[in-house]
Amino acid sequence: MASRKKVLLKVIILGDSGVGKTSLMNQYVNKKFSNAYKATIGADFLTREVIVDDKLITLQIWDTAGQERFQSLGVAFYRGADCCVLVYDVTSPNSFKSLDGWIDEFIIQSSPRDPGNFPFVVIGNKIDLENRAVTTKRAQGWCQSRHNLPYFETSAKEAINVEQAFLSVAKSALANESEVELYDNFPDQIKLTTDQKPRPDSCSC
């Protein structure tokens, strides 16, 4: 049986400070949740291997700081991303309103080949809390207005929908990586060599 093709995909998680970016990443990769809040300084990443379409994928998930003073670090971390996860807190209307700004910043900083079709996945986190302020309908409407972005509601604390959300992220990243590979690597697939000598005709007599 042929071995699976291994693919490394870079995923960036963006969103305001405190929406649960680090918690989502830790729940997905390590199956752990901590109530102790610690702001991310700069950026950090974790990896997890998953199988999508019979390909072994290593997701390199970058958790970025939501504070304004760290946003100048964006260029170094955003470049080469295959998918961007936008996270907001369903109890915080302001974190939801910030999503437009995060998309614009990512496009500016990362300079993707095709900005209009770059894959984003939207996550409304903290659905385990009772003081919800952003309705599902409102979030879905916003995602539809942004070219029908995939939308998931999660709880990093209760591990609700986290696996499903990141599976969608992996599929979106893989599809994007395949598109880029098609554009960037296609010429390299055709290799003409002149050092091969024609074999003499064999005789079966």
Interval 5-27 mean pLDDT: 92
Name the most confidently modeled range: 45-54, 106-115, 129-138: 129-138
Judge whether residue 70 has pLDDT over 90.
Answer: no
Chain CA centroid to CA 43, Å: 15
Q: What was the pLDDT predicted at 71?
A: 54
Chain CA centroid to CA 173, Å: 6
Q: Is 138 helix (H, G, I), strand (E, B) or coil?
A: helix
Query: Domain residues of the chain, as ranges?
Result: 6-189
Q: What was the pLDDT predicted at 155?
A: 97
* Non-local CB neighbours of 163 within 8 Å, separated by 6+ positions: 28
Q: What are phi and psi of 19, to 5 degrees?
A: -80, -15
Q: Is 63 helix (H, G, I), strand (E, B) or coil?
A: strand
Which helix or strand (DSSP H or E) is residue 107 part of? helix 99-110
pTM listed for this prediction? 0.81
**pLDDT tens profile 114-141:** 998 999 999 999 999 999 999 999 999 9
Class of domain 6-189: alpha beta
Share of the chain above pLDDT 90, in %: 58
Interval 175-194 mean pLDDT: 55
To which residue do tokens 């995060």 refer? 102
The more confident residue out of 203 and 11 is: 11
